[in-house]
Structure 1
Amino acid sequence: MIKARAILGAVREYRFQGDELWVDCGDPHMRITFLEPHLVRVRIVPGGEFKQQRSWDVAQPDENFKPVSVELQQTQHALFLHSTAFTVRVDKDTAQVEMLTPEGKPFFADLISPVWEEDRFWFTKRVENNEHYYGFGERGGQMEKSGQVMENWTTDPAQPHGAMVDPMYMAVPVYLALRPELCYGVFVNSTRHSKFDLSTPGELRFESDGEELDVYVAFGLQPLQVIEHLSDLLGKMPMPPKWALGYHQCRWSYGSENDVRVLAETFRKKEIPCDVIHLDIDYMNGYRVFTWNNDRFPNPKKLAFDMKENGFRLVTILDPGVKVDPNYAVFQDGHKKDVFIRNAEGDLARGYVWPDESVFPDFSRPDVRKWWGSWQKKLVEDGISGFWNDMNEPAVFEKPFSEGGGQVGTLPLDALQGLADERTTHAELHNLYGSGMAQASYEGMRKDNANQRAFHLCRSGFAGIQRWTASWMGDNAACWQHLRMSIGQIMNMGLSAVPFVGADIGGFAGNATPELFARWMQIGALYPFSRGHSCAGTLPHEPWVFGEEVENISREALNLRYQLMPYLYSVFWKAAERGYPVWRALFLHYPEDLQTYHIDDQVLIGRYLMAAPVLSPGLRARQVYLPQGEWFDWWEGTCYEGDQYILAEAPLDRLPLFVRSGAIIPMGPVFQNTAEQNSDSPLTIHIFPGEGFFTLYEDDGLSFEFEKGVYAQTKMKVETTSKQIKLSVNEREGSYKIPPRDVSVIFHDGRQLQQKTIKDEGAAFEIVFDRM
């Protein structure tokens, strides 16, 4: 505990060893460590006792990084630690820190000294001219966060949550700062209660409980590079099974086996593509996790088998609360093995959730995560293909659910968690609880699901959550404001290094109008994670319940998603390999265009597709900004010069969608589910005038064989002159075998289309079109 106020003093002494600089600043001591040329860690703590790596730390340990060549330079007034990418400057009189680009431009500079007082600390950074801030996880409101105060404390918020409700389900203390010709990203390594404050012009303040200031800073000339460096630190998403990229249908609840069968048959009868059906809490016996309600689901194994035969996977919800019931095997086993969190007095920490009085596993412990996986295995053996982890902020009701539940809180902050040699309290691990549950789910499935990839979904979590699971934005509402809010939320999650994200299509709470549902499905069909979901007590929200017109719009929107699967799967591969967002803010590819810095109602899907959804009722046209270069209307082929706003037609059955010049968009035929898509399915490659490149990634979509190199990559390039356009396709690389298949190349030259078809056997080829 810090007993007195402490600030940085003058540098008294320092030592430089390898890639690390130690600085004595009076009472506080500082360590500056370059982990990569573009990534530095700065730690400061009064007394100089730095914490050891803990098992729950989300950042890669320093020793996992290769040694970095750095150079120390000193002048009369400062110490300069240089990597090949940027410099850290420490002022000798104040020990304040700033970063410098190779050209000497400052960034992430102390405005005043950090302060430690009792059991908390804060630091204040100078906001440079024209600097903008993004990320911070799932926050509502505008995508650019200047002016906001954002709390990091995982919370099930009061209903209905909205644009300025904070905190929410996730705590992701990661942000991206951007100004022309300069970008950097920051991860503040504090799992305790904390907040960012951008409400005072000219400064960014971070305040946290705890003692050690621990900050990682990634620098890059391009924003995508910065996100890649942050992903090197925090981890990258695993490559999902292809079926997880299909459409998911959910409701609280499809309450019986018959309901699920009728739902599945309706999708197939109406030829609306769908891959996954989610089962909410009513499939359980009295909300007891790892059980089935035998009256409603008499034969879950046969149900799962029949669903899979029809092209559907089943995903079941799991909550962390384990019902206190001496006759319940999960509780008995967990109590015997001491897996549950205990309060400060050493008794079981109890709280009310769906099954009324419950206890909560301590997912910070590896043995408890393994225990959870062992019970999860029973559902895997029943044919369940994935898990939806909910209520894991953790949320706790003020009274039993059977008596109404009441307000939502959490576990006692002095409850004890962790292994014996790193014992701490829930105050330190609260924000990590959802991530720990997601890790247990992922590790259990990886162990017990043979060589099959699984799907995991999680409501809560901390930075690095992408290593274990997809995420969604929680319990939204069927209103236009939440449709609009989802666009910025998903982009900001990607900017926080969390790429596999979605929001409930149509809104969870309340009843969508036909127009709202149509507009939401148009863009929701292109969410990275695409799921329709609705709450108990609302009207049905399946795609066919709003009338024939909306049913047709939904079908066409999902047909497009499934046709784009070769493109989307390749974009997801980039996310898994390099940490790139699937949904990208425009400035990620146009960082010198200041106009893009505040656009949060348009999105790039991968590099080439740009969607501009309609986000207000009654509109049949909308303003769209086209960045520099040529752009093509996806539907009509009209070519537009960029660097301007246009008025795009948007009848109810059309999502404004544009393609960047030089685009290469591989597509497949329409399928009802991804199981119908085979490696020899025909492929159509759409190309557009300009200069561009694309790498098509393919594997079996199901197994982990790709980790052994069993995948294929095909590199493509488009080159254009005033008279011709040429598509050059390299020889296919990799050991994944693809039978000969028909490949059609369609050249879009404005409204003019040309097509040529070849038999693709993996050899290099070129196709040339004469321009008309």
Structure 2
Amino acid sequence: MTDLNFCQEHFPDPRALVSKLHQCGFKAIWMLDPGIKEEKGYFVYDSGSENDVWIQKPDGRPFVGEVWPGPCVFPDFTQAKTRTWWANLVKDFISNGVDGIWNDMNEPTVFKVMTKTMPESNIHRGDAILGGCQSHLHYHNVYGMLMARSTYEGMKLANQDKRPFVLTRAGFIGSQRYAATWTGDNLSNWEHLHMSISMVLQLGLSGQPLSGPDIGGFGGNATPRLFGRWMGVGAMLPFCRGHSENDTNDHEPWSFGEECEEVCRLALKRRYHLIPHIYTLFYMAHTTGTPVAVPIFFADPKDPSLRRHENSFLLGPVLVYASSYPDQGSEDMLAVLPSGIWLNFDFDDSHPDLPSLYLKGGSVIPLGPPHQHVGEAKPNDDLTLLVALDENGKAEGLLFEDDGDGYDFTKGGYLLTYYAAECVSSTITVSISKTEGLWQRPKRRLHVLILLGEGATLDAWGTDGEVLQVIMPSEKEVSGLVSASKEHYKARIEINLAEKLFSSLSLGTEISKSPNELKRGAWILKVVPWVGGRIIAMMLVSSGAQWLHSGIEINGYEEYSGTEYRSAGCTEEYSVIK
């Protein structure tokens, strides 16, 4: 395992592999770690030694620490010459068809030491502008960002007309200029699903708009319900990907059964419907610094109670209300909404494991078709505007469009459209109030959906760029539409709940809502009989310490895998003897 190199046995022709992936709509993102194998004859090590780029010990010799390849040395990214050296290596690496680069282990991580990183006494010969020659204690927090910066600059050297995609595990203030971030090695449990929402929101408030967790958890084995619920949340976050470590069960959606696969399919289709809106939010983040996902108190900063809610967030005027609790689906939760008008909507896909969606009154958001990948999108695809009127019968919103890559948008190569809706004398008029950019408007159909409440809508079709008018029905007709939509939603939820119950019944001969509690000496075991006597919890009475602390899977309990994940990469196995 070495950086900037392909294993000939597994990847004999990386360019051909990437070409095939591109034909299927996939991008190839390859991982680069800072730990460079200490091995003469390995071109990266030889080149780095020649250029004297390694972090040093206090005695002036290169520091050697254990990482994936074994003994490794580490580039000193605090030096301009090291960043230039690395960038040129990345430039050559890109020629293999690399679409993006994932910088991992760049805190930097070092194995077989208590601190999991290099000694604070190591020496960086940093540039004067960064602080000059200092210890690792001084530079530790910026190391990951400087590596991401070097990687970004290398990708720019390879292709000036392509926006680099870099993903980094470690960062610092300003790293959003170079890389996206994920929340690190999480665990497959309900607590980490819950925590992932607030972590992404706090990263956004810290200036990093493009972030997300490892969906389903990195360490440990997710259950079908946990994975499906996590996908429902993760598909609504700015950065969306699944990732799990070696020696865990398969974590692809289809690995968890048909129901979980369907939940994941619905969640990802939602994301693709919302891509035009999410892309517009990224334009706003780029131009104004507004995070893509923000806490719900942004909708009403004067309401202190909103600051305590960790299960919901805003994507612009869209409120995403999720459940991260194993014993509650979205149908069990009474959404806490900021003041004002909030109208719920879906894509005829409501499910207990998917978040509830609300649009703030006074808003217009753009929606697109649920493509298999963004490469399928065409400028003349149908555009949908979802409209929620405020108390004055008005709404507004915007759509940003460009090539999706490159830098033509900096020269006016884009189209920014401001849409407005207004209801006057029972007629809703939807029009364009303002535009920016040099792009011509594509010739496409426009589908307008006016939210009425309880998911009910009025819909009308027209041509984008032309004024569209929708006649409001009578109050009685509106009431009928709202009632019908409410019943339709209830029926969908009940069908999904019935399917869950049926799948639960197939797992055991007898369903028990309460586990058996067995006491023996200083230990208390909780056992679920209907899954073969699985232990779901074990507690030492004298100290209250718990082992096998488990999540929830079916009717309140999940089958336990037999391994305790205390932290990523740290496991403790156990056995129970009668």
Q: Does the CA-based 8 Å contact 2:124-2:139 persist in structure 1?
A: no
Q: Specify the alignment match of 1:615 in structure 2.
A: 324
Instruction: Please give the secondary structure, in 2, of the residue aligned with 1:555.
Output: helix
Secondary structure of the corresponding residue to residue 462 of structure 1: coil
Q: 1:494 Cα deviation (Å)?
A: 1.0
1:327-370 alpha-carbon deviations (Å, 9 max, x no partner):
10111111101111122221112211111111111111222112
Kept after mapping to 1: 8 A contact 2:200/2:212: yes
Equivalent in 441, 445, 459 of residue 755 of structure 1: 459
- Which residue, 313, 316, 341 being the options, matches 1:630? 341
Secondary structure (helix, strand or coil) at the match of 1:715 reads: strand
Q: CA deviation at 1:410?
A: 1.9
Q: Which runs of 5+ in 2 are unaligned?
A: 475-578
Q: Percent of counterpart pairs with the same letter?
A: 36
1:541 is the counterpart of 2:241: no
Contact 2:92-2:158 at 8 Å conserved across structures = no
Instruction: Report the counterpart of residue 529 of structure 2 in structure 1.
Output: none
- Distance (Å, rounded) in 1 between the aligned partners of 2:254 and 2:82: 43
Show the counterpart of 2:558: none
Hey, what does 1:569 align to over in structure 2? 279
Q: Is the 8 A contact 2:320 2:355 kept in 1?
A: yes
Contact 1:619 1:650 in 2 (8 A): no
Which residue of 1 is the match for residue 442 of structure 2?
Answer: 739
1:337 correspondence with 2:37: no
Which residue in 2 is equivalent to 1:419?
127
CA distance in 1, matches of 2:204, 2:58: 38
Q: TM-score, normalised by structure 2?
A: 0.77
1:477 matched to 2:175? The reply is no
Contact (CA 8 Å) 1:479, 1:516: kept in 2 or not? yes
CA distance in 1, matches of 2:195, 2:345: 25
Q: Which amino acid aligns with 2:318?
A: L
Does residue 1:685 correspond to 2:370, yes or no? Answer: no
Q: Which residue of 2 aligns with 1:410?
A: 118
TM alignment of 1:23-34, pairs within 5 A: none
Runs of 4+ in 1 over 6 A off after TM superposition: none
1:742 and 1:723 map into 2 onto residues whose CA distance is: 24
8 Å contact kept, 2:395–2:421: yes
Superposed CA offset, 1:563-607 (max 9, x none): 11111100111111111111111112211112212111111112x
* Secondary structure at 1:666 match in 2: strand
Query: Are residue 382 (structure 1) and residue 120 (structure 2) matched?
Result: no
Q: Distance in 2 between matches of 1:737 and 1:344?
A: 61
Residue 82 of structure 2 aligns with an amino acid whose one-letter code is: V
Q: Pick closer, same or farther for the CA change 1:612–1:557 going to 2, 3 Å.
A: same
Match of 2:241 in 1: 531
Q: Distance in 1 between matches of 2:176 and 2:347?
A: 37
Instruction: Report the Cα distance in structure 2 between the residues aligned to 1:352 and 1:562, rounded to whole angstroms.
Output: 42
Once the two structures are superposed, residues 84-109 of structure 1 have per-residue CA deviations (whole angstroms, 9 ceiling, x without a partner) of: xxxxxxxxxxxxxxxxxxxxxxxxxx
Q: Please tell me the residue identity of whatever aligns with 2:338.
A: P
Among 440, 455, 469, the alignment partner of 1:767 is 469
Q: Which amino acid aligns with 2:232?
A: Q
Distance 1:651 1:768 in 2: 30
Match of 1:261 in 2: none
Please list, as runs of the form range in 1=range in 2, the aligned pairs for 1:119-518 lying within 5 A after superposition. 287-398=1-112, 408-419=116-127, 422-518=132-228
2:357 and 2:36 mapped to 1: Cα distance? 46
- The equivalent of 1:667 in structure 2 is 367
Shift of 1:730: 3.0
Q: Is the 8 A contact 2:54 2:73 kept in 1?
A: yes
- Pair 1:564–1:420, CA change in 2 (3 A): closer
- Please, which moves more after superposition, 421-430 or 610-619? 421-430
1:89-108 map, 5 Å: none
d(CA) in 2 for partners of 1:592, 1:769: 37
Gaps of 5+ in 1: 1-286, 400-405, 638-648
2-structure distance, mates of 1:346, 1:485: 42
Instruction: Please tell me whether residue 583 in structure 1 is matched to residue 297 in structure 2.
Output: no
* Superposed displacement of residue 537, structure 1: 0.6
Alignment deviations for residues 387-438 of structure 1 (CA, whole Å, 9 cap, x no partner): 1101111111127xxxxxx872324434132137832222211110000001
- Structure 2 Cα separation of the partners of residues 594 and 719 of structure 1: 32
Give, in whole Å, the separation in 1 of the partners of 2:361 and 2:48.
Answer: 58
Deviation for aligned residue 1:722: 7.3
Residue 636 of structure 1: how far off its partner (Å): 9.0
State the secondary structure of the residue aligned to 1:685: strand
Q: In structure 1, what is the equivalent of residue 491 of structure 2?
A: none
Asked whether the equivalents of residues 63 and 122 of structure 2 are also in contact (C-alpha less than 8 Å), the reply is no
Aligned mates of 1:711, 1:554 — CA distance in 2: 33
Letter matched to residue 442 of structure 1: Y
Matched-pair contact (CA < 8 Å) for 2:270–2:347: no
Q: Which has the higher strand share?
A: 1
* Structure whose residues are more often helix by fraction: 2
- For the structure 1 residues 651 and 393, does the alpha-carbon distance in structure 2 shift closer, same or farther, using more than 3 Å as the test? same
* 3-state SS of 1:516 partner: helix
Which of 401, 408, 419 aligns to 1:705? It is 408
- Tell me if structure 2 keeps the 8 A contact 1:749–1:771: no
Structure 2 counterpart SS, 1:352: strand
Relative to structure 1, is the Cα distance of residues 650 and 709 closer, same or farther in structure 2, using a 3 angstrom cutoff? closer
Kindly state the Cα deviation for residue 653 of structure 1 after the two structures are TM-superposed.
4.6
Query: Does the 8 Å CA contact 1:363/1:369 hold for their aligned counterparts?
Result: yes
Three-state SS of the structure 1 residue aligned to 2:439 is coil
Q: How far apart are residue 308 of structure 1 and its match? A: 0.8
Is contact 1:722–1:771 with CA below 8 Å preserved after alignment? no
CA distance in structure 2 between the partners assigned to 1:417 and 1:721 by the alignment: 68
Contact persistence 2:322–2:354 (CA under 8 A): no
Other-structure match for 1:718 = 421
Find 1:557's aligned residue among 252, 263, 267.
Answer: 267
For 2:138 and 2:353, the matched residues in 1 are separated by 49
Distance 1:735 1:749, change over 3 A: same
Q: Residue 254 of structure 2 contacts residue 260 of structure 2 at CA under 8 Å; is this kept in 1? A: yes
Q: Give the letter aligned to residue 458 of structure 2.
A: Q
Gap change, CA 1:756 and 1:420, over 3 Å in 2: closer
Is the Cα contact below 8 Å between 2:88 and 2:157 reproduced in 1?
Answer: no
Deviations 1:622-675 (A, max 9, x none): 1310111121121399xxxxxxxxxxx985354222121122121111110000
The alignment partner of 2:58 has SS state of: coil
Q: 1:725–1:521: structure 2 CA closer, same or farther, 3 Å change rule?
A: same
Query: 1: CA distance between counterparts of 2:141 and 2:347?
Result: 48
User: d(CA) in 2 for partners of 1:629 and 1:724?
Assistant: 23
- C-alpha displacement at 1:718, in angstroms? 2.7
The alpha-carbon deviation at position 771 of structure 1 amounts to 4.5
Q: Verify the 8 A CA contact 1:710 1:734 in the aligned structure 2.
A: yes
Partner residue in 1 for 2:230: 520
CA gap 1:681/1:501 in 2 versus in 1, 3 angstroms: same
- Residue type of the alignment partner of 1:697: F
TM-score (norm 1): 0.58
Which deviates the most, 306-315 or 340-349?
Answer: 340-349
